[in-house]
Amino acid sequence: MDQYSAKLANVLVGNNECETVMEITQSPHRFLFLKDTVAAFTGGGLQPQQNNQNIPLNQPIFIAEKSIVELKQQREGFRLYIAVAGGMKADEFLNSSSTDLLIKAGGFRGRPLKKNDVVELNRKLNHTQEQLLDVLRSNAELKLYDHSPAFKTKTIRVITSAEWNYLDEDMQQQFLSGKYIISSQSNRMGYRLNGDVLKTNKHCEIISSAVTEGTIQLTSSGEMIVLMADAQTVGGYPRITQVCAGDLSLLAQKKPGDEIQFQLISLMQAEELYLEELNKLQQIKSVIKQLGAAS
């Protein structure tokens, strides 16, 4: 869901950014590490701990063989990500190792993880990762990323979409000034929003056409649905706006009951935000690479 945190966790441990990571939303959890590991925790919601000591987030860390890491609910945000150097072994389906619970495909046998499951490494560590393991094992601390995302922010930036004109000017204003609560009827496919309903004099139905993650649909009741990571590929509701890629990760860190507001930006700004994010990951990548080359 929070793709940025997932990618960040990967690059922090020297993986390709699309390696399989673990996404965790509910506490408590306890993990036993079966061998010396370079890991990174990113995202929100849970705080990883070892012997009741907080493990820092957003940096690569060394976890020794036979250590136990516990996750406790106590931070802003909703989803925690764990990446390990070498990645996690997972089933692939349609070029993705994400878990699809509906058709029970991908990930760990197409199902959520449960007690006593053993997750294996996907590949041997590369040279850089071996170096990283050695450096971190000797108690060095690597702070590569001191800019932790602000999950408290309520503002979600959007761009106009194909059916923005289904709202008249007043309703467009109402959309942009309104406060919306993420409904308990939300899941990985979409977040339903509670708040003042939007009225349109147009029929809330279009000839089914493509939708994607972040598409905000206006339903006939005047309520909105924000499509999320497991969204369908086509839909028949008007697409009024689109959450910009840069803020989709922030939205994924919101949970039912959280309040959000929308802010309109231009497509050009949205493209810039997207490239900025990519750039940040690129910078971390090159630092990690240099580290491997230097040692």
Partner 1 sequence: MYKISFISLNEKALLLSFGNSIDFATHEQVIKAKNQLEQNKFEGFTETVPAYNSLAVFYQPEKVIKTKNTIAESVTEQIKNILATVDSLSKAPLHSIKHIIPVCYDEEFGNDLEELSEQLRLTKEKIIQLHSSVSYKVFMTGFTPGFAYMGILDPQLFTKRKAKPRLTVAEGSVAIAGSQTGIYPMSTPGGWNIIGRTPLKIFNRLKENPFLLKAGDEVQFVSITKEEFTNLSLV
Residues engaged in binding partner 1 (CB under 8 A) = 93-94, 102-103, 105, 159, 161-162, 207-212, 214-215, 232-235, 239, 242, 244-245, 267-268, 270-271, 274-275, 278
- As measured in angstroms, the least distance from the Cβ of 204 to partner 1 is 15
Residues 6+ apart with CB under 8 A from 139: none
Which secondary-structure segment (H or E) carries 291?
helix 267-294
Return the number of the residue (98 or 161) whose C-beta is nearest partner 1. Answer: 161
Return the number of the residue (149 or 214) whose C-beta is nearest partner 1. Answer: 214
Of the candidates 250, 251, 249, 245, which has an alpha carbon nearest to the alpha carbon of residue 224? Answer: 251
- As measured in angstroms, the least distance from the Cβ of 186 to partner 1 is 17
- As measured in angstroms, the least distance from the Cβ of 70 to partner 1 is 35
Residue pointed to by tokens 């072994």: 89
Are 240 and 163 within 8 A, CB to CB?
Answer: yes
Sheet holding 22-24: strands in order across? Answer: 22-24, 80-84, 37-43, 61-63
Return the number of the residue (128 or 215) whose C-beta is nearest partner 1. Answer: 215
- As measured in angstroms, the least distance from the Cβ of 270 to partner 1 is 5
Cα dihedral 57, 90, 255, 70 in deg (nearest 10): -40
- As measured in angstroms, the least distance from the Cβ of 2 to partner 1 is 17
Return the number of the residue (85 or 251) whose C-beta is nearest partner 1. Answer: 251
- As measured in angstroms, the least distance from the Cβ of 63 to partner 1 is 33
- As measured in angstroms, the least distance from the Cβ of 246 to partner 1 is 8
Please give the C-alpha separations between residue 100 and each of 23, 82, 96, 97, in angstroms, as whole numbers: 13, 19, 10, 9
Q: How many other β-carbons are positioned within 10 Å of the β-carbon of residue 223? A: 17
Query: How do strand 259-264 and strand 155-160 relate by DSSP bridges?
Result: parallel
Return the number of the residue (40 or 244) whose C-beta is nearest partner 1. Answer: 244
Return the number of the residue (144 or 162) whose C-beta is nearest partner 1. Answer: 162
Number of H helices, E strands in the chain: 5, 17
Return the number of the residue (132 or 243) whose C-beta is nearest partner 1. Answer: 243
